Structure 1
Amino acid sequence: MITKQELPQRETAGETAFRRIREDLISGALPPGSKIKLEQAKARYGVSVSTLREILNRLTTENLVVAEGQRGFEVSPASTRELLELADLRILLECHALGLSFTGGDLEWEARLVAAHHKLSSVERSLLAGDSSRTVDWVRYDWEFHQALVSACNSVNLMAALSSVFDRFLRYHLLAESFRGQPVVDDHRLLFELALKRDHEGACRMLTRHVKNGVEHVQKSGRIP
């Protein structure tokens, strides 16, 4: 018998709205620098203006939204400076998490990593073959792969910080509107192989190159000021 405590928890309207707004900010559906009109957002996300204000104030802590005092809220602008800062922060956090994960990882961790890389490489093959409809899947599986790499770090706070930085870094890739192609596939394969060998130094070098090549790709798109 399932007790009340065992029943799955449903998202509240506010939690659903927070998740949807955050996804729209990262995907670019809410473009950088655009005004967030509360009455329009109220209809779009199905919550009250007061709840919207709470959500948007919460998102200012991740620098996804800018509060303009009495004038309301604006989507944070995109800039080369922030892109470079996020890249450095991601390398710092993810390399540290890789070291902890490689030390603490067990057979279950290896199984998660193998499964995550399998899904990612499958989608990447489709993208290389010209199936652009799999881009949304790639975004999800890319994060799942990087999350699997560090999932044995045994630090909830580190994972939360890395997730926030990863998403904000991903926003720039989605603004670039193009898949990096074979080089990113090769990066992921090498990261996977180095992780299974527990080669922390090699994985950090590979990750650093992976992130910096991503920055260069975004900059070449010409879509970031």
Structure 2
Amino acid sequence: MTATVIVLRDKKGNRRAEGAKTLIEYAYQRLRRDILGGALPPRGKLRIEHLRGRYEIGSSTLREALTLLVADALVVSEGQRGFRVAPISLEDLQDVTRMRKMMECLALRDSIERGDDQWEAGILAAHHRLSRIEERLSDGAEAMAESWENRNDLFHKALISACTSRRILHFRDILYHQSERYRRFSLMSGPGGRDIHGEHRAIMDATLARDAAVACRLVEEHMDKTLAAMAPLLAAAP
């Protein structure tokens, strides 16, 4: 069976660099971006007829894209009643953070033990790219949230890229992306006195020094600070 494709073009009609994508992937990315950015708020009802008008995409394609987002824990299926944006809560963030710390440190310890010169170079390059955008966060965190998230993801992946366990990396990736909404809300609410750039630098330095104990402690503290920043906001949420 041949997949239906859509060619994305800019306002001048030129084909975009990302080329052709399946309609389902296109719908998935649009919905995911709006959920993460808050345009589709937590607990909000995802009515197919409304989404069709919003995205100009067919019903069956939207349902398949929403099913993919259920697997990402960003959407909840309500059976015959349709779909709803997954809620956010302090209890959920606490659970995700606890599991993330376990998976992240398992992967990081393995990477520190096995990483080579190429692994070290990848960490330095990813940190440099992340640093460039973190220097400009004060100019408007909301406008840079997606770019920052992409580079933050690449930096943390570089740290653990020498890990040899596919299962650890798989579950780590699931937990990382389940915490993405919380990181974005934390970023857009302001740094709150945090030196995020300094935290990343310290994690990198300890990792490159092959000090697994310090590196893991810093990673755990890094996640706990996001949890602490979000706790008052989530506790006050209805």
Q: TM-score normalized by structure 1?
A: 0.86
Alignment of 1:1-225 (within 5 A): 10-128=20-138, 130-132=139-141, 133-176=143-186, 177-180=188-191, 182-221=194-233, 224=237
Size of the alignment, in residue pairs? 217
Contact 2:48-2:62 within 8 A present in 1 as well? yes
Contact 2:107-2:160 within 8 A present in 1 as well? yes
1:119-143, Cα deviation, whole Å (9 max, x unpaired)? 1112112224x44443332222111
197-206 or 154-163, which deviates more:
154-163
**Same amino acid, percent of matched pairs:** 35
Name the structure where strand makes up a greater proportion of residues: 2
Greater RCO structure (CA 8 Å; 6+ sep): 1
Change beyond 3 A, Cα 1:30–1:156? farther
How far apart, in 2, do the equivalents of 1:107 and 1:167 lie? 28
Change beyond 3 A, Cα 1:136–1:64? closer
Q: TM-score normalized by structure 2?
A: 0.82
Unaligned runs of 5+ residues in structure 1 are 1-7
1:67-105, Cα deviation, whole Å (9 max, x unpaired)? 112111000111111010110111111111111222222
How far apart, in 2, do the equivalents of 1:34 and 1:64 lie? 11
1:17 aligned counterpart, secondary structure: helix
